[in-house]
Amino acid sequence: MDLKRINNLISNIVDIDRFSLVSKPLFETVVRNYDNISKLQGDIIECGVWKGGFSVFLSHLFNNKKIWVCDSFGGFQPMKEAKYKKLTYFSTLQGEMTERFQQGDDMGMNIPLSDVKWVFDKYGLKDNPRINFVEGFVNKTLPILNISKISLLRIDVDGYSPTREVLDHLYDKVVPGGMIIFDDLCLVESAEATKDWLIERGIPLEVHNPYNDKVYSLENRVIDSESGFHTGSYIIKK
């Protein structure tokens, strides 16, 4: 690990968390896995980027890899387009947030592509040929995406069907030793989608928690502060 370069990187993007919902422990976990990921073949892809801060971080950290920045940049995929209809978005939320969502309020998630590109420009990545912005819902963009190998995949698409669709299209492209980050295991929809998909593929239901580096099972998932199902739970592909 080139600690001097990484320390310089962190000092230069010290406020990048203003443009990311990713937890600090996940940033640190990715840095700890830098040597492994940087040696693997494959691109880095983030599905669901909010304001793009974590993609900017990944672009600087892994400066030898192609980066794919995928988002609708316009809200959530309509349920009528969902391939899998087991759960709707945020079906377990109660009260004001549920009402706001049902009325079309994206709760601050609707960040246009122009705003995300501004963040990339701010941190020295303007028109960088390694960066690929992919605009649209994952059910339309991922089937035609020209990517053959992935060394790091981050999934932050919130809903049941989009989470499964990302796994449908991209899991098999992750190389052995590659990292798959699940942002939303704290949400019932994403956790159920991940669990159902892994069970169907015969893959162990064990995920790492970046907060304490413990391994938890999705089999007995509980939403609480000790469960470990926070933003950034991840697996290393066998």
Task: Kindly tell me the burial class for residue 17, based on how many C-beta atoms sit within 10 Å of its own C-beta (0-12, 13-18, 19 or more).
Answer: middle
d(CA 153, CA 174) in angstroms, rounded, equals: 7
CA nearest neighbour of 128 among 220, 81, 66 = 66
Residue 102's pLDDT band, with cuts at 50, 70 and 90, is very low
Q: Tens digit of pLDDT for each residue in 116-136?
A: 999 999 999 999 999 999 999
CA nearest neighbour of 59 among 146, 111, 127, 155 = 127
Contact 194, 227 (CB under 8 A): no
Contact 46, 69 (CB under 8 A): yes
The domains found in the chain, sorted by start residue, are 3-73+109-236 (3.40.50.150)
| Average pLDDT of the residues of the chain | 84
d(CA 68, CA 59) in angstroms, rounded, equals: 9
Residue 55's pLDDT band, with cuts at 50, 70 and 90, is very high
d(CA 178, CA 189) in angstroms, rounded, equals: 24
Instruction: Give kind and range of the element (H or E) at residue 183.
Output: none
Least reliable range by pLDDT among 121-125, 154-158, 222-226: 222-226
Segment 74-101 mean pLDDT: 64
Residue 97's pLDDT band, with cuts at 50, 70 and 90, is very low
What does pTM read for this prediction? 0.88
Segment 202-212 mean pLDDT: 90
Q: Tens digit of pLDDT for each residue in 137-153?
A: 999 999 999 999 999 99
Q: Percent of the chain having pLDDT more than 90?
A: 55
Q: Give the three-state DSSP class for 144.
A: helix
Maximum mean pLDDT: which of 66-80, 109-123, 130-144, 219-233: 130-144
